[in-house]
Structure 1
Amino acid sequence: MTRLNYGQPLDGITQVAFTVADIEAEIDRYSREFGIAPWFLRGPFTPENALYRGQPTRVLLSLAMAFSGHLMIELVQQHNDEPSVYRETVERTGYGFHHFGIATADFDTRSDAYRNSGFEPVFTDRTPVGTRIAYFDCKGTMPGMIELIEMNSSQERRYSRIYAEAAAWDGTDPIRRM
């Protein structure tokens, strides 16, 4: 099994994500209650290449990432009413667990495997370092969606830097703006 520099297995769960109503309040809560920090906060922003169910979307988001041990925790706040994978989940089940993030070096093969399993691709975009992401609707076979994250050296360096800062966190400055 190949492990990424921050300890998680390639092609395994690298991230657990939650939708939240107020990202800064949740960052504060997760930092105080669970000792998870520092948080790397990006947004609000509109993803440039986002497609939701095959159509362009102008969703306005804030994302925060931090590590708890070797597992990345992601918080997502949507700031507008634009149709999105986040809005549909919040409307269906409320705020809370949204997806498992799977890091893979073979994005196309893994995407095809999910499609062949009957999972529908419902959201696609690119990360700030240019790698692809795709969300798959698991159609009730799992507790949320799967986000497939294309892992290359740039993406791994980005996540490894966040992991290293979490490992060295001294309890101050829990929010870092990206």
Structure 2
Amino acid sequence: MEPYTQVCFVVRDFEKAVSQWTAIGAGPFYEVDMNLLPPDRSYRGEIATDTLRVARGFLGTTQIEIAAPINDSPSVYQEVLATRGEGLHHVQPSIKPTSPEQFDALCAKYEALGLEQAMAMVVPGIGRVVFYDGFEKLGYFVELTERSEQMHAAAMATYDAHLNWDGSDPIR
């Protein structure tokens, strides 16, 4: 598969959201181990203390991510829930393996457009992840990830699972 795009939705009820997406053919959804998030990630220049439940699955060639905050700590997810409620949170465009140099160039591009970093972290085994605040200009955040070949292959495995999915076991 060529590069794909991820669209993330922030919700309050994780199971309900998965059920709604699977009803229209998305899935299966693979829950992300959020214990892998580094403790030194930042949110608007401060240490982030939010926790959330996240799962990803495909609908066609689009990766759907569902994110449900677990605590009330300030975060990019709580920002959207507080100002607009549940719905579109962020887009991660043209996902493919990304070298450190390519990642730096993408970040420079978004910063040149006037978007500011709202959240940043380095995730072991994945690389750097940055959320740019496009909320006022675009209506959503933009996520960029320094993605290894292995991380991309793992996402492609979830895509292959989607192609052959029989509708059972929607959250894995």
| Same fold per superposition (TM over 0.5) | yes
Q: One-letter code of the match for 2:21?
A: Y
Instruction: Normalising by structure 2, report the TM-score.
Output: 0.89
The counterpart of 2:43, out of the listed 40, 44, 52, is: 52
User: CA shift at 1:152, angstroms?
Assistant: 2.0
User: CA shift at 1:25, angstroms?
Assistant: 1.6
- Paired with 1:45 and 1:152, the residues of 2 have a C-alpha distance of 20
Q: Aligned pair in 2 of structure 1 residues 136, 67: CA closer, same or farther (>3 Å)?
A: same
Does residue 77 of structure 2 align to residue 74 of structure 1? no
Same amino acid, percent of matched pairs: 29
1:60-139 correspondence to structure 2 within 5 Å: 60-102=51-93, 103=95, 105=98, 106-127=102-123, 129-139=125-135
The counterpart of 1:40, out of the listed 16, 30, 36, is: 30
- Paired with 1:39 and 1:131, the residues of 2 have a C-alpha distance of 22
Q: Aligned pair in 2 of structure 1 residues 44, 21: CA closer, same or farther (>3 Å)?
A: farther
- Paired with 1:139 and 1:130, the residues of 2 have a C-alpha distance of 25
Match of 2:149 in 1: 153
Unaligned runs of 5+ in 2: none
Cα contact 1:39–1:175 (8 A) shared by 2: yes
- Paired with 1:89 and 1:171, the residues of 2 have a C-alpha distance of 30
- Paired with 1:22 and 1:131, the residues of 2 have a C-alpha distance of 29
Match of 1:3 in 2: none
Cα contact 2:42–2:121 (8 A) shared by 1: yes
Which segments of structure 1 move beyond 6 Å, counting only runs of 4 or more?
Answer: none
Q: One-letter code of the match for 2:140?
A: G
Q: One-letter code of the match for 1:153?
A: E
- Paired with 2:169 and 2:122, the residues of 1 have a C-alpha distance of 28
**Normalized per residue, which structure has more helix?**
2
The counterpart of 2:2, out of the listed 1, 7, 10, is: 7
Q: One-letter code of the match for 2:32?
A: R
Cα contact 1:45–1:62 (8 A) shared by 2: no
- Paired with 2:11 and 2:135, the residues of 1 have a C-alpha distance of 22
Q: Aligned pair in 2 of structure 1 residues 156, 46: CA closer, same or farther (>3 Å)?
A: closer
Unaligned runs of 5+ in 1: 1-5
